[in-house]
Structure 1
Amino acid sequence: MSPLHLIITAVFTVSGVGLQIWSSSPRRSERQYALQLPVILLYSLAAALFLFSVFPDSLTEGRALGFGLGGAAGFAAFFMLASFAWLARTRRHDEAAAELKKLGRENAALRRQLLAEHGSEDAPPRVAPCTRYERPLRGDQRHRVGMVTGNLADILGADVWVNSENTRMEMSRVDEPTLSAAIRYHGGRRDDAGHLVQDTIAAELAERMAGRSYVTAGQVLVTGPGELRESHQVQRILHVAAVEGEPTSGYRQVMDLERCVRNILTEADRLAAEGEALRSVVLPLLGTGGGNSDLRKTAERLLSSTVVYFRSHPASRIRIVYLLAHTDVQAAVCRAALEAEQELTPQDR
């Protein structure tokens, strides 16, 4: 092997390693898979140059599109076909990564805007507890949609609380900052020191699973409210599978939020038809707790799905659905969604 060939081989190899390291940066997450193509090309060229230099009598042959190819042409044809196959397989991964990055930028921009308006704290402040905002559907004074702000544990008088749960229906530990943990803790029986001594709701939810390890996205399981019946006047807890888990990657919002809303309200109506006095539902922004979702789009989709359900079920016994806004950021996006919804009246009545 001549020194020139050795130098070129080393350049190709080092360039491939450098490009691979550069393409793995989070700033290029939406192009990481596509950028592997030139990396593979550089590695392949280095390997081919080395082999053809050390073993000059070696051959590579093949057929593509009905033509016989050999030598360098065969190698180039093989790489092109392999590249097209790679792009076809990985393009959707880059597109998904690009969309996730875009949503992250939008959420960050909204956060900066609200922090500029309300202060520079590290986290958006919680809004005043139990502030309610309602609007009726146009031409339908029976059904209303609105939002309730503040901590879920401070909300009194709502008949149904919706728990945004994962597809395994595994409730959060009570010391985690989630709605699932709040429902589990306040719905259980506690001793004088505030320690949970009877895990009422989680135990009943496990019974409802009936030995299954998971449920389908959007499925709803019903439990009683435990101690929340006495302390918060809650009649039922509806657990909806609104997030899906992925090993080592955490949870992400399910794709079909509309199905989640439809199943929630259908189940609430079924219980009401059986004689339970269920009229109001508190609906959190499903699947937004982990930050891997768009708050604005989530609020708009939940709101429009609720309106569609009421329009298609004019005899629904559910009278009002509240979107739960825990922070100023959530309150802002919920109010904007309510103001923009054309199926609602322009002001409270």
Structure 2
Amino acid sequence: MAGNTLGSLFRITTWGESHGDAVGVVIDGAPAGIPFTEGHVQAWLDRRKPGGAKTSTSRKEPDMARILSGTFKGKTTGTPISIMVENRDARSSSYADIMDRYRPGHGDITYDKKYGTRDYRGGGRSSARETVGRVAAAALAHQLLKAEGISICAATVELGGVRAEKREYASMTENPYLCPDAEAAQAMDARVDEVRRQGDSLGGVVEIIADGVPAGLGEPVFEKLDAALAGALMGIGAVKGVEIGAGFDAARMTGSENNDPITPDGFSSNNAGGTLAGISSGAPLVMRVAVKPIPSITKAQATINTKGEAVTIETRGRHDVAAIPRVNVVCEAMVALVLADHLLRQKAVTWNR
């Protein structure tokens, strides 16, 4: 199976399945001397692990990270870093009665078409459980970016049709949805309760902002920074759309409205979202992702079985009502991984400056 590796100089390969023994990641290309311990990894994994949010599955995984290689005395050595997280609370028996039925909205049918086989236990490799490795690797990327003064924040700006009108980022951790609008968070809470009772699920929108990104990151043609960010964010299973800056609203503007005036103090607006010609401008990077509803629902749905016969399916087991807010840290992770890679590329380009 190809397509498990991301990055050029800062390169990661994730491995493992939802109901296998473990999941994890191998990181290659990290510079030596970066402070990095299991504690650094754990702080990020604790934000994505199941059971911590109202929208989350009841699956209780401790998600304890083990660094198997690549560090010595709490710092990176410049050699490949391997991180493993054991699966402790998988219940594969929950999928026994639907093993021959394709779940709508999942990769069951496409994996079968591509490989002629699939792991029906929670989705196997296509499960959101795979993102454990991404978040673990991003813990190191965040360390690298922090040293350069770069920070990343992901906020829930829409959930189940409820939109945040305010952007009070400092207070968003005071509600379970990481929403920067306290009133909207209350409405989101009521919406989650309503949909949970119906046996259904919800989608939403996450906004990601990267501050402190220096000008000059990104390549001019096929390796544009915004293209790399969009590709990485679209690589999250639940994401169905990505906007940079004004995004689709730019299509409704005139040139004079969309262009960001340049002043001696910088840009006076940021419709470009922090990139011009695929290269970072020095303004904050602003991205939004559309997150689809969780496809595993208890409502009866029409599908087919592996023989091609029409059947119905009701997904049992333990599932999220929404990928939000657990997906937020995954969004931050993907942005961090791309920025770490492009930061190292730029340092190589400007080596003799």
Query: Fold conserved (TM > 0.5)?
Result: no
Q: Which has the larger radius of gyration?
A: 1
What's the TM-score, normalizing by structure 1?
Answer: 0.27
What's the TM-score, normalizing by structure 2?
Answer: 0.27
Structure number with higher helix proportion: 1
